[in-house]
A and B are shown apart, each in its own frame.
Chain A
Amino acid sequence: MTDMMLKVENLHARYGAVEVLRGLDFEVPDGNVVVMLGANGAGKTTTLRALCNMCTTSGTIEMEGDDISRSKTADIVRRGVAHVPQGRGTFPELSVMDNLKIGAYTRKDKEVSADVDRWFEIFPRLEERRDQLAGSLSGGEQQMLAVARALMCRPRLLLLDEPSLGLAPLIIEDLFERFAQLNKETGLTMLLVEQNANLALDMADYGYVIESGEIALHGPAEQLKNDPAVQEAYLGA
């Protein structure tokens, strides 16, 4: 199965004595947008962290057929996985420009500055603030910066952890439009963790619902949207 970007089987993860993930199975097909829904504490963030080997895990994580569950975080980044963590994960004491440069840390080619220009074109607000410290940006700008920084490593799989958190509705809509556009134009595969289920399911191809560290429900995004249980729990219907 070469058209599978990510194939996860029986994923367990724990923080100390607390088992957070209890045997997850899920797949992210190449070029798709997959969304993970779930309540606070269900294990969504841990799932994304587990993929980048940022916590203790067991189970298999295959990326394009290779097991990466024992790989170092830096090697996983080199394979093309970019992670925008919850709370944006920008470097507040670094300038916007340096934030983008550090995003390209694993790259050795000469096209880094060309890529910076490219993302400045798409996020012109960042170019206006290129020499400002990231910590001085607004929440929406920081989220743009976090995404642009993640894109600087030329990822093939983008992990987004609650990008809408703390942002105004208009900014969230704008952000999701950009995600959809990125996916359409570059074929970038995305795994999105979101509380804002409506917007996320609109954009996604497929969805999973996590409850207490297990997959409770999964299906095509359209189908989940019309599922009464999902509507009640996550769509406020």
Chain B
Amino acid sequence: MNWNFEILPDFIFNGLRDGAVYGTVALALVLIFKATTLINFATGELAMLGAFFVYVLNVEQGWWLWLSIAVAMAVSAVIGAVVERALVRPFDPDDHLPVVLITLGLFLIINAVAGDIWNYQVRRVNDPFGHFPSWVPNGSELKTSSDGTIACLKNADGDLIEVARGTADADMCEMVGRTFFEVIGARLHYRTIGTWIGLALALIALAIILGKTKAGLAFRAVSSNAESARLVGVNTGRTLGFGWALASVFGTLGAALVSPALGGVNPNMMLTILIYALAAAALGGLDSLGGAVIGGLVVGLIKSVLVSWFGVVVLGQAYFSILQLAMAFLLILIVLLFRPAGLFGTRRIERV
């Protein structure tokens, strides 16, 4: 046993970073579950598509990154609504199997189409939070190797602060700066903070949309009692389309936030993330938006601290790293067995 506590904070930060991504994707799952009580297995692939839109607009077309993300989110919203209208609404909402099969089919189709268009190589994307060159401490020195593939940054005392590899582009070397600052001896990456802020803003936006707008009120009404919602004049179909659109927006946000950490975008980027997000949603309660976020953070922590830190570092068992996904399935199993409604989900109570 090697209780290496010095590096524990690093694992905690990483876990909470990944967890924020799982939480964002879990939000997309929960939004659709709340509205239709079904799991949309295409959530991850719709999000992957959104991440590719960001890639196309930003990297290929040279648009400003944040504008690319905003446009990709808007396009995803339209796609989500169209999918709901064309592939989900024609089916009986009380018969879940056909619709679940459709979302599974959609999962495969989107993955294959994306693979056909962009192939399965990882394509580098720009990191919205990666480098802050203007924050390079005074007196520090940037050095690049002669072929430009390695850049390093030293502070005034000559200590190495950051090394960046694979930056073959000379311009990229110019951009190298610190990608983190130190908190209790651990590296807290700007990217991590950026992901947290992204999730927080998404939650605030969601709270405003659902809590303060008429469309949001209609959405909550349909998910609470669809029949009564119809009886007060709510167009339930259009409201569900709105839910799918919202879900796609959050999926795309999650994918856009995580893609730099994955090294770029590729059609399979969301496969494992969807599994973790499912575990997060099951843990938090499939119909609880707050639960999805907390579930995401917990899953990220379990994966990073319990499996990677405790399993691999403390116990010294390298094979633990391949158990991360199995852990997610185990978690889903345990939750469904002992607390089917999750930590914050609604336990159905009938009152007459």
Give me the interface of A with B, judged by CB distance under 8 Å: 52, 54, 73-74, 77-78, 83, 85, 87, 89-94, 98, 101-103, 105-106, 135, 139, 142, 149, 153, 165-166
Contacts and interface: CB of A to CB of B under 8 A. Distances in A.
Contacts of B232: 77, 102-103, 105-106, 149, 153
Nearest to A152: B232
A33 B227 CA distance: 25
B186 to A, nearest CB: 40
B217 interface: yes
A94 B220 contact: yes
Given A87-B352, A139-B351, 19 more contacts: A54-B231, A73-B230, A73-B231, A77-B231, A83-B231, A89-B225, A90-B228, A91-B221, A91-B228, A91-B229, A93-B224, A93-B346, A94-B221, A102-B232, A105-B233, A105-B234, A106-B232, A135-B349, A142-B351
Contacts of A142: 351
Contact of A89 (B217, B231, B349): B231
A149 B221 CA distance: 12
Contacts, number: 71
17 contacts: A52-B231, A54-B227, A77-B232, A90-B228, A92-B224, A92-B225, A93-B223, A98-B217, A98-B220, A98-B221, A102-B221, A102-B234, A105-B217, A105-B232, A105-B233, A135-B349, A153-B232
Interface of B: 214, 217-218, 220-221, 223-225, 227-235, 346, 349, 351-352
B218 A105 contact: yes
Contacts of A166: 352
Given A89-B227, A90-B225, A106 B233 contact: yes
B220 A85 contact: no
B331 to A, nearest CB: 26
A139 B352 contact: yes
B211 to A, nearest CB: 9
A106 B235 CA distance: 10
A78 B233 contact: yes
Q: Tell me if B's interface is mostly helix, strand, loop or mixed.
A: helix
Contacts of A54: 227, 230-231
A142 B228 CA distance: 14
Nearest to A107: B233
Contacts of A135: 349, 351
B155 to A, nearest CB: 54
A77 B233 contact: yes
A9 to B, nearest CB: 23
Contacts of B221: 91, 94, 98, 102, 105
Contacts of B224: 91-94
A89 B228 contact: yes
A18 B196 CA distance: 55
Given A93-B346, A102-B218, A139-B352, A85 B234 contact: no
Nearest to A138: B351
Contacts of A92: 224-225
Given A91-B224, A92-B224, A94-B221, A102 B231 contact: no
Given A93-B220, A94-B221, A135-B351, A102 B229 contact: yes
A105 B228 contact: no
Nearest to A75: B233
B220 A153 contact: no
B206 to A, nearest CB: 16
Contacts of A78: 233
Contacts of B217: 98, 101-102, 105
A52 B228 CA distance: 12
Q: Which of A83, A91, A103, A106 has the most CB of B within 10 A?
A: A91
Contacts of B218: 102, 105
Contacts of B234: 74, 102, 105
A91 B221 CA distance: 6
Q: Which of B220, B228, B229 has the most CB of A within 10 A?
A: B228
B227 A85 contact: yes
Contacts of A103: 232
